[in-house]
Amino acid sequence: MPFSDYKTALVTGASSGIGAAVVERLRREDIEVHAIARSAGALKELAERTGCVAHVIDVTDRQAIADLADRVQFDILVNNAGVDRPKKFLQADEEDIDLLVDVNLRAVLHICRLIVPGMVERDRGHVINISSIAGNYNFGGNSTYHAVKAGVAMLSNQLRIDAFGKRVRVTEICPGRVATDIFNHVHGDDPSVRERFIDGFELPQAADIAEAIAFAISAPVAVNIGHMEITPTLQVMGGLQTAKPQAPAETSASKEPGP
């Protein structure tokens, strides 16, 4: 469905990185873009630069999202907001699990619940769920993130089933490593973080992800681009490891002398 068939968009996590790039790209198509984020200063600058409508809202604030959905009929929904707390599940904290589930999955479910039915009723709409390669592939040390992103992947598939027979398209975008400031948000604002994740690598930029999203949206109405993995050319997923069994640890009982 060409951009001319769409009038309004909602983009979450819009204050920086991929979210801000998506806002900029959609505004170039004269879409009325409502940008949601928690950072008031960054949103204000984005609104001044692009002409988007800024809303300082946490995506977990269901009532605020519901109020916005009542006021505006959205043709495009871009679920981009997300957080991460890289940690093996054996060391997972209760707070980290709740945060990732609340922001990365529960908020996406509720935003879709509030907006997608209107798309179905109007027989027009496009949902973009920005997931991750972590929803499709396993790599160490990020178990909760993998779990919630896999949930977003399954939701994307199910939305197509639930909207069957209507011109509501659903696209799951699965980025690999992208040159954004998300690594500083996750690992701390330290020069070593950029050296570890960005400097010296050939990485897609946030604008590249936004162009891929624009490509999916601008496809003819008969075309649904359902799943896109966007990774650096020099990044691969997967791998095979085999460990030798470790000797069982001695227990205190085994150390005690016999009778």
What are phi and psi for residue 53, nearest 5 degrees?
A: -95, 115
What are phi and psi for residue 166, nearest 5 degrees?
A: -120, 155
Of 74, 145, 183, 197, the active-site residue reads: 145
Q: What is the pLDDT of residue 259?
A: 53
Contact (Cβ atoms closer than 8 angstroms) between residue 177 and residue 231: yes
Contact (Cβ atoms closer than 8 angstroms) between residue 173 and residue 213: yes
Q: What is the pLDDT of residue 224?
A: 97
17-27 and 206-218 are packed helices; what angle lies between their axes, rounded to 10 degrees? 50
User: CB-based contacts of 60: which residues, under 8 Å, 6+ apart?
Assistant: 102, 103, 106, 107
Respond yes or no: is residue 137 known to be catalytic: no
- Superfamily of the domain at 3-255: NAD(P)-binding Rossmann-like Domain (3.40.50.720)
pLDDT means per 10 residues in the chain (259 residues)? Answer: 85 96 97 97 97 98 98 98 88 93 98 98 97 90 92 98 97 93 58 73 94 97 96 86 81 58
- Sign of CA pseudo-dihedral 135, 231, 204, 188: positive
Residue 221 is classified by DSSP as T
Its pTM stands at 0.89
User: CB-based contacts of 143: which residues, under 8 Å, 6+ apart?
Assistant: 87, 88, 89, 92
Q: What is the pLDDT of residue 255?
A: 58
Residue 228's beta-bridge partner residues?
Answer: 173
Domain ranges of the chain: 3-255
d(CA 22, CA 31): 11
**Tokens coding 213:** 């999203």
Give the containing element (helix H, strand E) for 164.
none
